[in-house]
Structures are given as structure tokens and as C-alpha cells.
Amino acid sequence: MDWKLRPARDLGLAPGDRLRSLARERGLFGVAANAAWRWLLRLYFRVFHRLEVTGRENLPAAPFVLIANHGSHLDALVLAASLRGEAGRAAHALAAGEVFFGSGAGAAFAAYAINAMPIWRGKTQRGDIRMLRERLVEDRLVYILFPEGTRSRSGEMGEFQPGLAALVAGTGVAVVPCWIEGAHAAWPPQRRWPRPGKLRLRIGAPLSMEGDRAAFTAACRAAVAALAAAR
């Protein structure tokens, strides 16, 4: 019997704290809100961006970490909208806390619709990484993560931060590299709103962590860059 009484990880948190907690677990309302949001996103990307996804067959069963180049707010939405079934429901975008969880309404939208988890720049503690790793493995989640740490202002892919390797080290969880094309042109950091334009998402073969963290970080960046070259 694998069923046991196990309270929600966020039980006892006040409503506002719960939205901003890495321990937040969704109920029926959260699942329905996120499903509706992803449906709207798919419609939006089909109509305004003619989104083309290749390599879906590379996606393993959850848990896994989806990484990509980051040049636009559209990136996380493209990845979330492209996941289907259980992987889509398990997907959590790791998002900048200052940007998405600053206000109460913003936090509610980020938590319920986007299903984001806040990462506070410069304030991430060892306990946060531990909680993220624990949930990734035990709750069989899918994380959407941009290892560059911030949106590229030029559209060129930057260096990868070491957090990705710290997150998956020792877990055996696969990292799936992706390349998003056209998002920076459609909605660069300098623009207030997106404009229509063709989007392409290429999903590569999953990577398992081998060697030291620096080597793995470099391997992940190379895998994303290789997808860019495979146009």
C-alpha cells in the first residue's frame, strides 16, 4: 500500500505566503486554472505566432527539467504550452520572484495560471534548492528553467549559471535541452507588449548528469546551442 496520510507541504501557511512558497501544492482549482491558461496559450501561439514544435518524442516521463535559451517572456509560456498530458500538469516554471511575485495579484496569477515558483535573485538559500530537488523527485514534477538566469538583451545566448547542475546533481533526473526561435524578435525585453511572428521550438534529446557540475553545465549549454545550429 503506497497511500498514506501526507498533508499538503504548504499546510498551515497564510494564503499570501502560500502563493510565494516553493512548497505550494495545487488543488482542483489550481489545476483547472492552469489547464485553462495553457489552453489559451496554445490558442494564442497558434493564431499569432504559428508555433511549430519539433522533437516532442524526446520528452521523457516526469520528472525532468526543461531548459532553453532565454530572450523573452514568451519563452516560459512557449515551453508550458508545448507540454501535454501529465507533463503539462506537472510543469512548474522557475520564475524571478521580484518580477512575478511582487504584488498580491501578480503572485496569484503566477501561482494559479502560470504555475510558477519564485526564485529570488541573490537570496536563494541552500534550503530552497533542497526543497526544489525534493519536490522534483518525490512529486515527479517538471521544471521549466532558464540557466542563463535572465533574459538576453541582444538575443544571443549567455553563459549558464551553476544552479541547474546544483539542482539535478545526484537526483538522476534528466535535463531536456530546447531551443526557442523567434521569441526574442516577437517580444524582446525592450518592448512592452509582444508582436505577432513565427515561433519555433526544438526539443532535444535528454541529458543525464555525468562528470562534475561545471562540465555538465557546459554540456547543457552545448546541447542547447547545437539545437540552435540545427535549423
| Smallest separation, CB 86 to another protein (Å) | 11
Identify whether the C-beta of residue 88 lies closer than 8 Å to the C-beta of residue 80: yes
Whether residue 170 contacts residue 183, with contact meaning beta carbons closer than 8 Å, is answered with: no
| One of 12, 122, 127, 170 touching another protein (CB under 8 A) | 12
DSSP assigned state of 83: -
Closest by CA to 56, choosing from 201, 180, 169, is: 201
Residues 59-78 binding another protein (CB under 8 A) are: none
128 makes contact with another protein (CB under 8 A): no
Provide, rounded to whole angstroms, the least separation between the CB of residue 166 and another protein: 27
User: How many degrees, rounded to 5, is the angle at CA 24 between CA 167 and CA 176?
Assistant: 35
- Residue 105 as a binder of another protein (CB under 8 A): the answer is no
| 85 is a contact residue toward another protein (CB under 8 A) | no
Grid cell digits, residue 135: 519536490
How many residues touch another protein under the rule CB under 8 A: the total is 17
Q: How far apart are CA 81 and CA 55, in angstroms?
A: 15
Task: Name the residue nearer to another protein (CB basis): 76 or 111.
Answer: 111
C-alpha cell read off for 64: 525532468
**CA distance from start to end of the chain:** 49
Among 4, 126, 192, 231, binds another protein (CB under 8 A): 4
CB of 14 to another protein, least distance (A): 5
As to burial, measured by CB atoms within 10 angstroms (0-12 exposed, 13-18 middle, 19+ buried), residue 169 is: middle
Q: How far is the CB of 37 from another protein (least distance, A)?
A: 17
What does the radius of gyration of the chain's CA atoms come to, in whole angstroms? 17
Q: Are 71 and 184 in contact (CB under 8 A)?
A: yes
Stretch that binds another protein, among 7-15, 100-108, 175-183, 221-229 (CB under 8 A): 7-15
CB of 213 to another protein, least distance (A): 32
**Binds another protein (CB under 8 A): choice among 31, 36, 40, 214:** 31
Binding range to another protein, per CB under 8 A, among 8-16, 52-60, 96-104, 223-231: 8-16
Q: Which of 2, 57, 156, 210 binds another protein (CB under 8 A)?
A: 2
Among 165, 167, 215, 187, which residue's Cα sits nearest to residue 71?
A: 187
Where along the sequence are the contacts to another protein (CB under 8 A)? Answer: 1-8, 11-15, 25, 27-28, 31
